[in-house]
Amino acid sequence: VFLSCFYHNQKTSPLFISPRRHRLPKLVPPALPVNGTFSWVRVVLFLSDEEIIHRIGYDALIFLRFHRLALRCIVKMSFFSFLVVLPLNFTGDGHKMNDGEGYGMGELLFTDFMRFTMANVSGGSPRLWVHCFAIYLLTGIVVRELLVEYNAFNNIRHRYLLSREAHLRTVLVTNIPRHLRAPSKITTYFKNVYPEAVKSVTICQNLIRLEKLVQKRTHILTAIEKELLVLCRSEKRKLVITTLSAFDRVKFTVTNLPKKLLSCVGCSDGQERLAWLYSKLEELNDGIEKEHVRRDRVMKTMDALQAAEGSGDIDYVLAVSQGEGNHVASGDSDVMMRRNGKKRGQINLVNGNIIDDDDNNGKEKDLSDL
């Protein structure tokens, strides 16, 4: 029943069942060779691992292999169960025993279904040894299948780690001192520490303000869609009302108006609300654009800190780290850079802010507020 409902909704409501296929067509994998209603069963059972990885990735491969594992265990054990265990249970005499010596529960409670179970075998019967053998057989089948699947999982994991994808070669570095948070400085540092191992460096920014603006714009767009839907329904309803009689017109209006319209009697017109929402949307778009410009200015300012004598900061960190024989921790680098700045009168770090002794006369400058 569930598969039938899913197949029906897949044909009638594709946007609900598979929204990504219609909204993000570039991310949709190639279509499977499915022609009939249940032809997907053959594809799921016999599609190769390489084809699954190419189409839908490693996560789907592990998911499908788990179901294949369960299916193999059930099918292999079902042969012994249907050919040996079920006939043995059905021909037992447990349903005839009412004195409580066996597993019978009385003629009134013992149903036909119970005759296919172990309850139909009397206690102490040699037939119970068959059930004991079935338990060991099932355990052996499951253990063997688990070992086979474990070896396959190891091979898949090694293949995944050797695939050289971007997220497997990306390292997140945190607790970087504020005066070193520039792409050029970080690139210089890591290229000296790990020569020919760094491909690119990207500085992650604090985009909380931008995310809030985008979230507000999303709410405004949702409200605009709702207002447009209500406006379209009301215009359509006006066309229907004009074709009805006076009595039917009143009846239709009372029974078919949505609750939102009935509760908004006396409010401003829908077109006025739409105009206000569009004005808010324009304001948010301007705010988002200004925030983009501000973040670009922040990154350029941070990158400009490497100019002139500021480029010696990274050389000092490298020299100290090489002299000690290990890398400098982020907390120690704060202290060293503070001492170094005091000696040369360049850049000092106070409470996470930058103080330029030569240009700002001790005035703090917080780059996050630029």
3-class DSSP assignment, residue 275: helix
Q: Which residue has the higher pLDDT, 357 or 107?
A: 107
Q: At which residue do the structure tokens 């001790």 appear?
A: 362
Band (161; pLDDT cuts 50, 70, 90): confident
**Which percentage of the chain shows pLDDT scores above 70?**
66
Q: Which residue has the higher pLDDT, 34 or 135?
A: 135
Where would I find the beta strands (DSSP E) of 114-258? none
Alpha carbons 361 and 358: distance in angstroms, whole number: 6
Least confident of 6-15, 99-108, 184-193: 99-108
pLDDT at 327: 42
pLDDT at 349: 36
pLDDT at 369: 42
Yes or no: say if 179 and 347 are a contact pair by the CB < 8 Å rule: yes
pLDDT at 18: 77
User: What's the gap between Cα 26 and its chain centre?
Assistant: 18
| 249-266 pLDDT, tens digit each | 444 444 444 444 433 433
Segment 147-158 mean pLDDT? 93
Helix/strand/coil percent split, the chain, to 5: 70, 5, 30
Q: Which residue has the higher pLDDT, 206 or 159?
A: 159
Token pair, residue 81, equals 């169960």
Domain spans of the chain? 2-161
Alpha carbons 123 and 313: distance in angstroms, whole number: 85
Alpha carbons 241 and 235: distance in angstroms, whole number: 10
Yes or no: say if 60 and 156 are a contact pair by the CB < 8 Å rule: no
Band (86; pLDDT cuts 50, 70, 90): confident
pLDDT at 362: 40
Band (94; pLDDT cuts 50, 70, 90): low
Band (336; pLDDT cuts 50, 70, 90): very low
Token pair, residue 277, equals 């929402």
Band (178; pLDDT cuts 50, 70, 90): confident
C-beta atoms surrounding 276 within 10 Å: 14
Band (171; pLDDT cuts 50, 70, 90): confident
Segment 105-125 mean pLDDT? 69
Least confident of 52-56, 177-181, 286-290, 358-362: 358-362
Strands 364-365, 353-356: parallel, antiparallel or unpaired by DSSP?
A: antiparallel
Alpha carbons 302 and 108: distance in angstroms, whole number: 85
Yes or no: say if 160 and 58 are a contact pair by the CB < 8 Å rule: yes
